[in-house]
Structure 1
Amino acid sequence: MTTTQQLVDRQVSSAAIATFIIFGANGLVFASWAARIPAVTETLHISSGQMGTLLLCTAVGSLIALPTAGHVIGRIGTSNSVRASGFLAALAAVAISVSLLAESVPGTAVALFFFGIGIGLWDVSQNVEGADVEHRLRRTVMPKFHAAFSGGAFVGALIGAGLSGLGVGLPQHLLVIAAVVAVLTFITPRYFLPHAAPQAQSADETKPDRGPSAWRDSRTLLIGVVVLGATLTEGAGNDWIAKAAVDGLGTSESTGALLFALFVLAMTGMRFFGGSVIDRYGRVAVLRSSMAAAAAGLGLFVFAGNVWLAAVGAALWGVGAALAFPMGMSAAADDPKHAAARVSVVSTIGYVAFLAGPPLLGYLGDLTGIHLALLAIGAPILVALLLAGVAKPLSSRK
């Protein structure tokens, strides 16, 4: 006979698998674009700085979506939010393909703007669902969900490298990815957890946490600053490792894509096994160690004199960048009652770096070369390291 608790356990297990798949699909569509940025610059005949402007279009779209994501999720739920955002991202990927075939810079810019909106809402929605599953399981699993994102990105990067080597264009590539994403984001969220209003002692306590109050919470803001510095590390690697390898080391486009794939693989492995490390040593210690590893890997990648040392640097950089964002999401969602609003706030602050930082590196790259421009992220890495203490779980605070 099946007990109520067994049914609940099955529901949580199904939700965990569904959330894992959604994170993976998000990584797949993102890397399918990021791994082939060098091809975009050639197709559209633009410089690194102009490519930075196109990337900024994605950033603006996401930064418009992120602050309102908590409200959207509160209105339609995480399942429908993922469906809507996945459909928009897939549609935008189709528009990017058409614009590239037409060699239209304005068309690509508009498509990337809507791509950014879709990815931004999708990101907050999946993190809110992941935090809910983590609370129900009562163990650290958020890094594994982000490992799924990295795993999807790794597969996307390998596909990008292979198709580049075969001479298959990015437009055709994105059209297939868009179809896959549309199907996954429509079907999979049906297995998400149902979201009911939290139980509370009074009517006031049942009211959802609105955006403005979350923006006034000092701990949430400081977590956002940590995530801002930490995610710049990840965002810069995602967007510029392939290009920096081509420009700084003189590698082929396919080799640059493989170095990006190695960066993502290192992140995936660390995220998959990182939950037990966090449970054993705590968020703060792991966050500080992560930032130190990221700084060391960045330095080795930039100053490496050959592809093999650069590969070691890219791997160490990926290990360091792996856990900061999922730990930030878990820290923001420590109180389930306020999770949606606070995850939205932290995501917004963090994505200023994750999305706007890489385009700014592109402008700097026009002056110094993108290879050396990557050193600029050393300062925010240090800030994240110094402020890591704010990620201490609420349950362990006095």
Structure 2
Amino acid sequence: MTSTQQLAGRQVSAAALATFIIFGANGLVFASWAARIPAVTEILGISSGQMGTLLLCTAVGSLIALPTAGHVISRIGTANTVRASGLLAALAGVGIAVSLLAESVPGTAASLFFFGIGIGLWDVSQNVEGADVEHRLRKTVMPKFHAAFSGGAFVGALIGAGLSGIGVGLPQHLLVIAASVAVLTIVVPRYFLPHTAPERPADGEAKTVRGPSAWRDGRTLLIGVVVLGATLTEGAGNDWIAKASVDGLGTSESTGALLFALFVLAMTTMRFFGGTVIDRYGRVAVLRGSMAAAAAGLALFVFAGNLWLAAVGAALWGVGAALAFPMGMSAAADDPRHAAARVSVVSTIGYVAFLAGPPLLGYLGDLTGIHMALLAIGVPILVALMLAGAAKPLPARE
């Protein structure tokens, strides 16, 4: 191996570690909010439906940002996009904390809107970087990056449960998390793979597929639909397991946070070992098995008559929700020439469900109770199960 190849190998390894850390930080900041949603409803004195409206503010912010993510990344690179979006999310976290201290619903809503913009841009840019690293390494590592996200969320959920148990307020919690995230997202991306602007192709060479063309690619859109169903499954668990445990099972807020932590731990574990499972059984088979497990876990969680069965259901639900999104990212990036545009498209479609679906469940929860409202995600789970074949790997290019 030449010195140039060794340098390139070290650079990719450093980028992989940096991407792993950034995914983890993303999960930490998300779970720090999600695990303590019951505290928000109590501080502001709002119902599940009104909480759904607040969550919708986050969704609107992200859905405005997501379609522009590919363009932003192409102009300033994944590293600078993570820096800018991470700083925005941290500042929004400070805004949420201040608004909760003031018991201001409008202030919380406005802060969540900007939080959604930051998280949306951050998510797409880290997935584009992860797809690039995966291709450079020539092995399945995307599930491990998403395991880092889940691991960060697990730590965030445990911190949330612990702080709730000892009476530390959510605003103070968010201020510390915001400071930590700002530092990580500024420093760590310096080790990302270098960004270069797309070169103009010579005559006769294939042109790079940009956003609009990727949106017209049939396979990419089908993968997006599969990911949409799968991410709704994950998003509903992230946002509503803690609240559904409190409302449907009569648990304490800290116990609800622990059930959420169990859900995230199951996802983290499955994602860590997921690459081996996918390489052994194939992407499509694992995707179908994942959706079946998610459906079974959801049903057990909702219909369980006691806390222990609900915990088993939450864990199985987490196992089922673990691999679909990273498999969707890998499927979208099968052709390296078009990876960035297609990953951006699938990410955008997936986050429509991840961010907009849970607030809609909140509205339904006002009618049926949030515990029973979770059954509504069974339909998109079945759709994802039926369309799983779209994620079949493309033939290797010569």
Q: TM-score range by the shorter chain?
A: over 0.9
Local SS of the residue matching 2:334? coil
1:251 aligns with: 251
Rounded Cα–Cα distance in structure 2 between residues aligned with 1:337 and 1:204? 15
1:144 aligns with: 144
Rounded Cα–Cα distance in structure 1 between residues aligned with 2:122 and 2:13? 21
1:202 Cα offset (Å): 2.8
1:353 aligns with: 353
Rounded Cα–Cα distance in structure 2 between residues aligned with 1:149 and 1:83? 17
Local SS of the residue matching 1:365? helix
- Deviation string 1:39-98 (CA, Å, 9 cap, x unpaired) is 000000000000000000000111111111001000000000000000000000000000
1:158 aligns with: 158
Residue identity in the other structure for 1:224: G
- Runs of 5+ unmatched residues, structure 1: none
Rounded Cα–Cα distance in structure 2 between residues aligned with 1:231 and 1:257? 20
Rounded Cα–Cα distance in structure 2 between residues aligned with 1:367 and 1:204? 60
Contact kept in structure 2, 1:35 and 1:257, CA below 8 Å = yes
Rounded Cα–Cα distance in structure 2 between residues aligned with 1:388 and 1:339? 19
Local SS of the residue matching 1:395? coil
Q: Write out the 4+ residue segments of structure 1 that deviate beyond 3 Å after TM superposition.
A: 196-201, 203-208
2:377 aligns with: 377
Rounded Cα–Cα distance in structure 2 between residues aligned with 1:307 and 1:373? 18
1:169 aligns with: 169
Asked if residue 120 in structure 1 is aligned to residue 123 in structure 2, the reply is: no
Local SS of the residue matching 1:305? coil
Residue identity in the other structure for 2:274: G
Rounded Cα–Cα distance in structure 1 between residues aligned with 2:355 and 2:35? 15
Rounded Cα–Cα distance in structure 1 between residues aligned with 2:303 and 2:243? 15
Residue identity in the other structure for 1:31: A
1:343 aligns with: 343
* Match runs of 1:51-200 below 5 Å: 51-196=51-196
Rounded Cα–Cα distance in structure 1 between residues aligned with 2:333 and 2:58? 26
Contact kept in structure 2, 1:270 and 1:323, CA below 8 Å = yes
Contact kept in structure 2, 1:198 and 1:206, CA below 8 Å = no
- Deviation string 1:198-227 (CA, Å, 9 cap, x unpaired) is 789735757543221111111111111000
Distance 1:199 1:95, change over 3 A: closer
- Deviation string 1:122-155 (CA, Å, 9 cap, x unpaired) is 0000000000000011000000000000000000
1:43 aligns with: 43
Contact kept in structure 1, 2:74 and 2:197, CA below 8 Å = no
Contact kept in structure 2, 1:51 and 1:359, CA below 8 Å = yes
Contact kept in structure 2, 1:68 and 1:344, CA below 8 Å = no
Distance 1:376 1:172, change over 3 A: same
Residue identity in the other structure for 1:163: L
Rounded Cα–Cα distance in structure 2 between residues aligned with 1:203 and 1:159? 56
With 165-174 and 191-200 compared, the bigger mean Cα shift is at 191-200
With 333-342 and 360-369 compared, the bigger mean Cα shift is at 333-342
1:283 aligns with: 283
Local SS of the residue matching 2:202? coil
- Deviation string 1:355-396 (CA, Å, 9 cap, x unpaired) is 110000000000000000000000000000000001011136
Contact kept in structure 1, 2:58 and 2:115, CA below 8 Å = yes
2:216 aligns with: 216
Local SS of the residue matching 2:395? helix
Asked if residue 298 in structure 1 is aligned to residue 298 in structure 2, the reply is: yes
Asked if residue 239 in structure 1 is aligned to residue 239 in structure 2, the reply is: yes
Residue identity in the other structure for 1:343: V
- Runs of 5+ unmatched residues, structure 2: none
Rounded Cα–Cα distance in structure 2 between residues aligned with 1:204 and 1:60? 42
Distance 1:184 1:204, change over 3 A: farther
Rounded Cα–Cα distance in structure 2 between residues aligned with 1:48 and 1:336? 43
Rounded Cα–Cα distance in structure 2 between residues aligned with 1:53 and 1:255? 25
Rounded Cα–Cα distance in structure 2 between residues aligned with 1:367 and 1:54? 18
Contact kept in structure 2, 1:232 and 1:357, CA below 8 Å = yes
1:336 Cα offset (Å): 2.1
Residue identity in the other structure for 1:389: G
Contact kept in structure 1, 2:201 and 2:207, CA below 8 Å = no
Identity %: 88
Contact kept in structure 2, 1:219 and 1:390, CA below 8 Å = yes
- The total of aligned residue pairs comes to 398
Rounded Cα–Cα distance in structure 2 between residues aligned with 1:173 and 1:196? 38
1:362 aligns with: 362
Distance 1:352 1:201, change over 3 A: closer
Residue identity in the other structure for 1:63: L
Rounded Cα–Cα distance in structure 1 between residues aligned with 2:42 and 2:90? 23
1:101 Cα offset (Å): 0.5
Local SS of the residue matching 1:360? helix
1:262 Cα offset (Å): 0.1
2:333 aligns with: 333
- TM-score normalised to structure 1 length: 0.97
Residue identity in the other structure for 1:59: A
Q: Alpha carbon RMSD of aligned pairs, Å?
A: 1.6
Contact kept in structure 1, 2:75 and 2:197, CA below 8 Å = no
Distance 1:339 1:42, change over 3 A: same
Rounded Cα–Cα distance in structure 2 between residues aligned with 1:272 and 1:212? 34
